[in-house]
Amino acid sequence: MVAEDQSLENSGSIHVDKGESRFRNVICGPVRWIKMLSKELHWSFVFGVVSLYGINQGLGGSMGRVATEYYMKDVQKVQPSESQALTAITKIPWIIKPLWGILTDVLPIFGYHRRPYFILAGVLGVVSMLFISLHGNLHLYFALMWMTLSSAAMAIADVTIDACTAYNSIKQSALASDMQSLCSLSSSIGALVGYFMSGILVHLVGSKGVFGLLTLPFALVSVVGIVFSESHVPGFSYKQVNQRFTDAGRAMWRTMKCSDVWRPCLYMYISLALSLNIHEGLFYWFTDSKDGPMFAQETVGFILSIGSVGSILGATLYQLVLKDHPFRGLCLWTQLLFALSGMLDLILVLRLNLKFGLPDYLFIVVDEVVSQMIGRLKWMPLLVLTSKLCPHGIEGTFFALLMSIDNAGIMTSSWLGGVLLHVLKVTRTEFGNLWLAVLVRNVMRLLPLFVLFLVPKGDQNTFKLPSEIMGEDSEEGDEKEEARNLEMASLVHSVDRR
């Protein structure tokens, strides 16, 4: 998510400018900072952010990723290409996130817009994880169905807490940056802990046992729904729902027809889709191949946790050095670095690191940190650009739409990667052509450079859509309606949710 407004302004009982907000983040300390947010925004909101971003998505999502890889390999015993294609299906609920966003915005349940959706997401996640963990011989496609439902539960919870953050960013605009920091830190710390624990837990209780443990983060989502503070909406007329859906659809279609919008969207999709994902082939080689490193389960989790540190370093480097550079130039260099970073995988697969005296463990740690850092640097300007393509009044829903396009690119990347592994006959026991798959992937990462003209040249701070798209010439009454709609908009956090 991106903070909507960080200009100097008063908001209710607090009078904090942007500089003071950042100063408070750094100086006051975590405990005092969280107490301040709990006092100004209500403790249930802070509890919800930490529970959903930190525990459910960060810790639970990272543990679930490692457990899924071992579950598909050891329990379902599928080939790498098949695992690559099937697990991509579980990303579909994230592609249709605008649907969840619109539902939470326009369709209250028992007079509440947010609380019932938290409870629903938690229950759906708990049931899904229980079925996978307790069933002795679950068919592959039924397992895939429950994994997809658990992914949908996480996506619904994500959209709902984003909507709450959007509302508070408008109501307490001076604290917008504090809220973004809380979201990012919760997610990053949760991912670090989750990846570190994942390998150990898979070793101790198995992948199915980890799925059973994941019922706890989902149960916590339902607890958030029970304790969350939200105003009741009495007498809601459900006859308004169809009209609100129609209005939102028309506004999004009108915006997507603008060349300043669809051109960068097309580039983002192409950039993500052509970055072929062959992770499953590499994962099988890391853990099963006699010619490979033969990493233990605990080692895999630790390596992924170190990768999360690289992602944090990338975000920090972008914030300190690169955030003021033009979009096109930044996309050019990050895409080039992204392709070059893939050569580290090629060196590892060809075992050239051993010839240089570099052990596998050390080399893969460096590889993971560098890859995650450059991947974050590549993603950050695209995320900023996405936020600037959203017109007033439907910022949240339209941002969810754009992020869905990006998720579609990620899913396409996984499917194309699975096809590549299948064509090159990379299987559970045959890895002779894995080096060629890595080389093809690295070359494919260069292809988006040929459509770089789709990215605007503008500076990240000054770029904006035409006023007729942004709606800046609207009358005062329209502005008030837009502000009301924005309070109910669902912003999307990006990430690693990828």
The pLDDT tens digits of the residues spanning 319-360 come to 777 877 888 888 899 999 999 999 999 999 999 988 888 888
Question: Letter for the amino acid at 75?
Answer: V
- Candidate from 69-83, 129-143, 295-309, 337-351 with smallest mean pLDDT: 295-309
pLDDT at 433: 92
User: Tokens 């952010």 correspond to what residue?
Assistant: 49
User: Tokens 């939470």 correspond to what residue?
Assistant: 104
How much is the average pLDDT of 145-167? Answer: 85
What does the alpha-carbon distance between residue 426 and residue 444 come to, in Å, rounded to a whole number?
18
What does the alpha-carbon distance between residue 435 and residue 164 come to, in Å, rounded to a whole number?
46
Residue 152 in this model has a pLDDT that exceeds 90: yes
User: Tokens 């949240």 correspond to what residue?
Assistant: 396
**Who wins on pLDDT, 393 or 288?**
288
Q: Which domains does the chain have, with CATH numbers?
A: 37-231+245-466 (1.20.1250.20)
- Burial label for 466, CB within 10 Å (0-12, 13-18, 19+), is exposed
Model confidence over 364-391: pLDDT tens digits?
888 888 998 898 888 878 777 776 776 6
What does the alpha-carbon distance between residue 317 and residue 369 come to, in Å, rounded to a whole number?
13
pLDDT at 446: 94
pLDDT at 13: 38
pLDDT at 15: 40
How much is the average pLDDT of 493-497? Answer: 40
Residue 272 in this model has a pLDDT that exceeds 70: yes
- Burial label for 216, CB within 10 Å (0-12, 13-18, 19+), is middle
**Who wins on pLDDT, 7 or 274?**
274
Give percent of the chain above pLDDT 90.
22
DSSP string, 289-353: -TTS----HHHHHHHHHHHHHHHHHHHHHIIIIITTSBHHHHHHHHHHHHHHHTHHHHHHHTTHH
How much is the average pLDDT of 101-116? Answer: 79
Q: How distant, in Å, are the alpha carbons of 49, 97, 155, 156, 308 from that of 162?
A: 9, 11, 11, 10, 22
Question: Hey, what are 364's tokens?
Answer: 């893969």
Question: Hey, what are 325's tokens?
Answer: 């550079």
Question: Letter for the amino acid at 236?
Answer: F
**173 Cβ contact list (under 8 Å, min separation 6):** 4, 5, 9, 11
What does the alpha-carbon distance between residue 175 and residue 41 come to, in Å, rounded to a whole number?
9
CB 372 within 8 A of CB 314: yes
Residue 498 in this model has a pLDDT that exceeds 60: no
Query: Which range, 209-218, 322-331, 448-457, 458-467, has the best average confidence (pLDDT)?
Result: 209-218
pTM above 0.75, yes or no: no
- Candidate from 156-160, 295-299, 322-326, 462-466 with smallest mean pLDDT: 462-466
Model confidence over 20-38: pLDDT tens digits?
444 444 444 566 766 776 6
- Candidate from 138-142, 149-153, 163-167, 364-368 with smallest mean pLDDT: 163-167
Furthest-apart CA pair in the chain: how many Å?
A: 73
Count how many residues are written for the chain: 498
